Chains A and B, each alone.
Chain A
């Protein structure tokens, strides 16, 4: 659907986009994530043909945006950062105007009515756009992007400036649209991207620093799989008990967070699953375990870590490679598959009985 290869954009001496390559398949919902000024909007503006590119190429459905811009643009619905609205028109006039502008061939009336219903702007349909609130303007902007039924939707920060209820509504709308469109959206709000997108491309200072699913990102980056636990007792005695559990690499006390208990972070040696051991040892000593969960990184932490790492010159891909070198995590693939298969067939047998 989309092929971006070694795309660069230079503004004078400033390199806004630096050798970016990625491809997006039909039907994917992809999130661009990055701090303000990372180059998200610039990449989107280039993909939609609003800005030119300095080097590289972008093709939409096989049509190069520079060589065959009209064919490429026909396939894209774009919501820029600021919805491009003519404030002196009513919503109705504006949407029909966009139909004409995008050369919609099929009957306009049912098409516009369907979109209006989808984004829930029926009640402002005949009002002047200048009198609409930010949330409604944003929705008219999305409606405008949907006109002409483009296969690809590019939404630049679609929920910015909306109230929490509207954010949830727009998010649901995007999730619904994702079922039969390819969607690219950008945001600097991580939870939003995590909720809606199947794939995240993290951009910082014009470079892609990570490109993976949300799950993989958090899994690969929290390679230590440390545990967070809360146990009833005093710090000194608990520290002694926990230190005696085999397979612990580091033990950090976080102090008292709830009266009568202490919080700890345990970092296991690579490859060790110490959850059972920890719980058993505590039970032996009659200590009550209040909570135990794996301390996986949240997207926020990942994001901070990646952007910081990129600033220091290491990329996510390199971290991933580093991971593969670690002894305990690389395992015999054939064996893994074999055991998995055995397990599933055993389960099936159980079910039959």
Chain B
């Protein structure tokens, strides 16, 4: 697993992909921070809620190649015939994408440090927002990885992932069109991207944490099954 993690993580930075991903986040986080700074607000956690749309739009790029590219280039033969379990392979890849995603939030840590010197801040609020962002990221990356396991083409994988993320984003709005209250309530729960906002408003529900972890676990499991299934086809 660690071998695959190392390779995948490094591969993000042997192409421009990883740098571009991080640069986009640095740009938006920096922009929001300078705005906050201008208003004299010491609430770095607000940034997390604001970048949620950026997460939805650019994260598919991170997951599109995870399981599709290997299959296209037939490198999966090296991985699957090596003495490693499929779960190990899938987890290694997922964690590599997750590590890049986590790095994207590193600037906020710097911002928080700067603010700490200038005003009194509550670190717990910041850490809660960071935890929320990481958990949502884990769930999104697992979904993206699962989609990439279904196709050999990174482009198709990217587009399908983007569509599903956008659907997750607008699900509550779509549900409100139906006018049925229980559908609206269910959509509100399923659309976990909205949790970005609630985590950054210093709401901590253990239920949300468990929910996000479960989504991540389910899609990691499905990815493993998808890879296994191809062997049995």
Binds A, one of B56-64, B69-77, B128-136: B69-77
Residue B233 interfacial (CB < 8 Å): yes
Given A49-B80, A73-B82, A101-B79: A87 touches B73 (CB 8 Å cut-off):
yes
Residue B24 interfacial (CB < 8 Å): no
Cα A78 to Cα B81 with chains together (Å): 8
Residue A76 interfacial (CB < 8 Å): yes
Q: Are B231 and A50 in contact (CB under 8 A)?
A: yes
Q: Are A88 and B83 in contact (CB under 8 A)?
A: no
Scan B82-116; emit 1 where CB is below 8 A from any A CB, else 0. 11110000000000000000000000000000000
Q: Main SS of the interface on chain B?
A: helix
Given A70-B85, A73-B83, A88-B15: A100 touches B6 (CB 8 Å cut-off):
yes
Given A51-B231, A52-B232: A76 touches B81 (CB 8 Å cut-off):
yes
Q: Are B81 and A101 in contact (CB under 8 A)?
A: no
Instruction: Give the number of chain A interface residues (Cβ < 8 Å).
Output: 29
Given A70-B83, A74-B83, A88-B11: A100 touches B74 (CB 8 Å cut-off):
no
Instruction: Return chain B residues, CB-CB under 8 Å to A71.
Output: 83
Residue B2 interfacial (CB < 8 Å): yes
Nearest chain-A residue to B14 (Cβ)? Answer: A88
Q: Are A102 and B11 in contact (CB under 8 A)?
A: no
Q: Are A11 and B233 in contact (CB under 8 A)?
A: yes
Give the residue among B73, B76, B82 with the most A Cβ atoms within 10 A. Answer: B82
Cα A88 to Cα B4 with chains together (Å): 14
Cα A45 to Cα B81 with chains together (Å): 9
Instruction: Return chain B residues, CB-CB under 8 Å to A98.
Output: 78, 82
Q: Are A100 and B80 in contact (CB under 8 A)?
A: no
Q: Are A97 and B7 in contact (CB under 8 A)?
A: yes
Residue B20 interfacial (CB < 8 Å): no
Q: Which of B2, B74, B231 contacts A84 (CB 8 A)?
A: B74
Q: Which of B75, B81, B82, B233 contacts A85 (CB 8 A)?
A: B75
Given A52-B232, A97-B3, A101-B3: A84 touches B77 (CB 8 Å cut-off):
yes
Cα A50 to Cα B230 with chains together (Å): 10
- A176 nearest CB across to chain B (Å): 23
Cα A103 to Cα B83 with chains together (Å): 8
Instruction: Return chain A residues, CB-CB under 8 Å to B15.
Output: 88
Scan B1-40; emit 1 where CB is below 8 A from any A CB, else 0. 0111011000100110000000000000000000000000
Residue A82 interfacial (CB < 8 Å): yes
Q: Are A84 and B14 in contact (CB under 8 A)?
A: no
Q: Which of A48, A74, A80, A144 contacts B74 (CB 8 A)?
A: A80
Cα A98 to Cα B78 with chains together (Å): 8
Scan A292-329; emit 1 where CB is below 8 A from any B CB, else 0. 00000000000000000000000000000000000000
Scan A71-100; emit 1 where CB is below 8 A from any B CB, else 0. 101101010101011111100000001101
Can you list 8 A-B contacts (CB < 8 A)? Answer: A11-B233, A50-B81, A76-B81, A84-B73, A86-B73, A89-B7, A101-B3, A101-B79
- Using a CB–CB distance below 8 Å, which chain B residues touch chain A? 2-4, 6-7, 11, 14-15, 73-85, 231-233
